């Protein structure tokens, strides 16, 4: 048996073998969990450079330094945090026992046990992070795992598969590469938990397939994350921070700002200062090594089509930086699309690229209404210093997570859950909540030596006054 699996049949056999090994092993010690995590950490430390180069090549232009920051250091953060905290997370937790059994010596506790084998399907936009960050929590919880990288980044997927094949016992960690068909077959396997990161549409299909085997799922999906700029906001600083966030991975991030609501009086200032800030970060387009390419032709056509449609409708589009570029390359300037109609594709679909919709408003209540008319987003951003308004916006909306006066940052909190709500996802990982997600929380009750129920007249055959005694206990 090998860790780099070659077929779905091999995957099925491996899962059965992982199950057997899991049942035979019993408790998974903290030491063993740490050692599994350390093996992944060592793999990343030993091979970070070729992995970053593979991601650069797969994107056709993704700065290797950015690959190290986003995928290697991002994954290492999750793995090390899990390694250094799992012992505290996995300890049994006493729970109070009901009276009067507590007086008789009964005890209660919960214990956190691994579920078994966790399947993890990743995306192309953060090819290592979407596999290895959930793996950190799955391993911390004592599970075994199988990974399925995205076929859209084949060099990265193959290199990771080769490295896992060389370094891991398949009974602990295995990997299978392939496209949609492999993904479908993978999601149909009887895992003990399945993590899927990807689009909302595919997420629905994954959940249907998992349902056949009653496999619990964590769905890390996408959506149109809104930004609300209040009147009290420092517009220049908001524009600068949003330009930084929007440039990250060329906008190909699940929590990338998708549309910005800006007070009508500050609209022109925002557009000007965003354009200045973005053009300062990326003064050129063609051959600019800092600009992340659109991952492939299909996504390039999708993004170009959004812009063609709104231009045909006469919508204002501001290009940043305003320079000529070679359209045969997959590097693109960022386009600010001002007040497009609700029916346009860019208003209906997750942008996931270098465009940002700017919508001007005159009443914050209408902004909240508009956000609530759409699907629940993965992230929401509020800029401003007006506490009452901030509470209003956060209190009347729901999203996976929130950053205030910045964007993307909440996802970097290592010991706070990351996940969506509604159409943006189900479940969560990162830190302690991630450990809980992949653990079976098992309640244990230990009885006292004596059983007083007979003496108390609580057992059949019930005596005459039994109902009256029960009625006397009913209270508000």
**Interface residues toward ligand NAD, by CB under 6 A:** 121-126, 130, 148, 150-151, 179-180, 183-184, 187, 197-199, 202, 205-206, 220-222, 254, 350, 352, 378, 420, 425
Q: How far apart, in whole angstroms, are the C-alpha atoms of residue 73 and residue 78?
A: 9
In angstroms, give the least distance from the CB of 263 to ligand NAD. 28
Which residue's CB is nearer to ligand NAD, number 205 or number 406? 205
Decide if 254 is catalytic.
yes
Who's near 405: CB < 8 A, 6+ residues apart? Answer: 233, 237, 238, 241, 382, 383, 384
* 164: Cα within 13 Å, side-chain hemisphere: 30
39 touches 164 (CB < 8 A): no
Q: CB-based contacts of 474: which residues, under 8 Å, 6+ apart?
A: none
Respond yes or no: is residue 320 known to be catalytic.
Answer: no
Residue 150 or 288 having the CB closest to ligand NAD: 150
Place of tokens 């009508």: 264
Residue with the two structure tokens 């799992």: 86
**Which is nearer to ligand NAD, 82 or 318 (by Cβ)?**
82
- Catalytic one among 220, 320, 350, 437? 220
Q: Which residues of 238-253 are buried (b: 16+ CB within 10 A; e: fewer)?
A: bbbbbbebbbbbbbbb
| Residue closer to ligand NAD, measured from CB, 58 or 142 | 58
**8 or 315: CB nearest ligand NAD:** 8
Spot the catalytic one: 31, 201, 237, 254.
254
Q: What is the smallest separation between the CB atom of 44 and ligand NAD, expressed in angstroms?
A: 19
Closest contact distance (angstroms) between CB of 129 and ligand NAD is 8
CB of 185 to ligand NAD, least distance (A): 8
From 166, 208, 224, select the one nearest 376 (Cα to Cα).
Answer: 224
* 332 and 356 Cβ atoms separated by less than 8 Å: no
Minimum CB separation of residue 254 from ligand NAD in Å reads: 3
Least distance in angstroms from the C-beta of 413 to ligand NAD: 14
DSSP state of 256: -
Give every CB contact of residue 177 below 8 A, 6+ residues apart in sequence.
Answer: 148, 149, 151, 154, 157, 158, 161
Contacts 24+ apart (CB under 8 A), 187-192: 187/119, 187/121, 188/212, 188/213, 189/11, 189/12, 189/15, 189/119, 189/213, 190/15, 190/215, 191/15, 191/116, 191/117, 191/118, 191/119, 191/146, 191/215, 192/115, 192/116, 192/117, 192/118, 192/143, 192/216
Beta bridge partners of 383: 229
> DSSP strand E in 221-373: where?
226-229, 259-263, 316-320, 334-338, 355-361
CA distance 309 to 153: 29
Shortest gap between Cβ of 100 and ligand NAD (angstroms)? 48
Shortest Cβ 347–ligand NAD spacing (Å) = 16
Q: Is 150 or 192 the residue whose CB approaches ligand NAD more closely?
A: 150
Bridge partners of residue 217, in order along the sequence: 194
Which C-beta is closer to ligand NAD: that of 184 or that of 360?
184
Query: Please, which residue, 338 or 378, has the CB nearer to ligand NAD?
Result: 378
Catalytic residues: 220, 254
């Amino acid at each position: 048996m090998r860790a780099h699996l070659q077929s779905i049949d091999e995957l099925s056999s491996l899962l059965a073998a992982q199950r057997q090994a899991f049942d035979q092993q019993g408790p998974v010690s903290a030491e063993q969990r740490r050692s599994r995590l350390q093996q992944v950490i060592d793999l990343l430390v030993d091979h970070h450079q070729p992995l970053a180069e593979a991601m650069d090549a797969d994107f056709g232009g993704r700065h290797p330094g950015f690959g190290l920051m986003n995928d290697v250091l991002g994954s290492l953060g999750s793995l090390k945090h899990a390694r250094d905290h799992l012992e505290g997370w996995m300890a049994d937790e006493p729970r109070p026992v009901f009276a009067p059994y507590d007086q008789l010596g009964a005890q209660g506790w919960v214990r956190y046990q691994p579920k078994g084998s966790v399947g993890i399907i990743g995306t192309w936009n953060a090819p290592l992070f979407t596999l290895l960050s959930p793996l950190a929590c799955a391993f911390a919880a004592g599970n075994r795992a199988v990974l399925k990288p995205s076929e859209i980044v084949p060099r990265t997927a193959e290199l990771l598969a080769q490295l896992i094949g060389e370094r891991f016992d398949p009974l602990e960690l295995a990997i299978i590469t392939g496209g949609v068909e492999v993904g479908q077959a993978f999601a149909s396997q009887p895992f003990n938990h399945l993590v899927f990161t990807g689009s909302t549409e595919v997420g629905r299909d994954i959940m249907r397939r998992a349902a056949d085997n009653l496999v619990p799922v964590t769905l890390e999906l996408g959506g149109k994350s809104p930004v609300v700029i209040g009147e009290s906001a420092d517009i220049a600083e908001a524009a600068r921070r949003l330009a930084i966030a929007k440039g990250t991975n060329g906008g190909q991030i699940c929590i990338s700002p998708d549309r910005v609501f800006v007070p009508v009086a500050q609209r022109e200032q925002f557009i000007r200062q965003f354009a200045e800030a973005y053009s300062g970060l990326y003064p050129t387009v063609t051959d600019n090594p800092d600009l992340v390419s659109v991952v492939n032709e299909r996504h390039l056509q999708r993004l170009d089509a959004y812009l063609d449609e709104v231009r045909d409708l006469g919508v204002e589009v501001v290009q940043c930086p305003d320079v000529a570029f070679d359209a045969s390359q997959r590097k693109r300037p960022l386009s600010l699309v001002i007040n497009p109609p609700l029916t346009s594709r860019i208003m209906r679909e997750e942008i996931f690229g270098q465009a940002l919709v700017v919508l001007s408003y005159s009443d914050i209540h209408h902004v909240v209404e508009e956000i609530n008319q759409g699907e629940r987003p993965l992230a929401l951003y509020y800029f401003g210093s007006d506490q009452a308004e901030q509470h209003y916006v956060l209190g009347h909306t729901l999203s996976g997570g929130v950053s205030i006066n910045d964007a993307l940052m909440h996802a970097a909190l290592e010991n706070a859950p990351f996940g969506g709500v509604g159409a943006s996802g189900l479940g969560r990982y990162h830190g302690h909540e991630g450990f809980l997600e992949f653990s079976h929380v098992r309640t244990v009750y230990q009885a006292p030596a004596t059983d007083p129920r007979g003496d108390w007249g609580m057992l059949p055959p019930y005596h005459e006054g039994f109902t009256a005694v029960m009625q006397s206990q009913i209270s508000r």
